[in-house]
Amino acid sequence: MHLPDFEEMRTRMVSSQLANRGIRDQRVIDAMAKVPRELFVPESYRDLAYADRPLPIAAEQTISQPHVVAYMIEALAIEKQAKVLEVGAGSGYAAAVLSKLAGEVFAIERIDELAQHAASNLQAGGYMTVHVKHGDGTLGWPEHAPYDAILVSAAASTVPEALKMQLKTGGKMVVPVGSRISIQQLIRITRLDETGFAEEELAAVRFVPLISDEK
């Protein structure tokens, strides 16, 4: 039986989907080139692991297309040894990419089945600097705050205040904002000081909704 050449597929993805579509941060490109995306998608979809599209994972959720992951991570301008929070860990793929750039990654996933999958995938891949927690991502992970960067991998109806307050001064958060039905806006928030924040609209996106325990 013919097995896919994942390394070749990953090389083509980096060239055609990232470098040729505006991703300029070489550290992000290198990180995407090192993480085997096929480990983070269901076995039945592994031949599509490097397709330019989101793919289904467990619990009716999705793994974002590679270009979107790279674009969001590039927008965070992560420095070496940074402490990063990811909200909406999914299958663990973005956290694995973040671990190639940052010193330590804390990933929260609201759906227990996915949190377990993410932890298992990351452990199998040897990503020892990523810590996974099952919980309400809108509340952040205050025990390890403040963070240099926060990546929110699901769409919030409004930016969670708890996440903003867990940013370091000078830290950045990238978050899709909008309803389940409409196309959302990807927002970058930079903490200026104790009470001040700057917001920028980056792009129109479409993400699954961010689930909160709050009613």
Query: Which amino acid is it at 103?
Result: G
Known catalytic membership, residue 16:
no
**Beta strand spans in 74-183 (E):** 83-87, 104-109, 130-134, 147-152, 167-177
Q: What span, in angstroms and rounded, lies between the C-alpha atoms of 87 and 133?
A: 10
50 three-state secondary structure: coil
Catalytic residue (choose from 64, 91, 99, 153): 64
Angle between helices 26-34 and 66-76 (to 10 degrees): 140
* Separation of CA 82 from chain center: 15
Residues 6+ apart with CB under 8 A from 192: 169, 198
SS3 31: helix
CB 49 within 8 A of CB 41: yes
Cβ atoms of 76 and 149 within 8 Å: the answer is: yes
Catalytic residue numbers, as ranges? 64
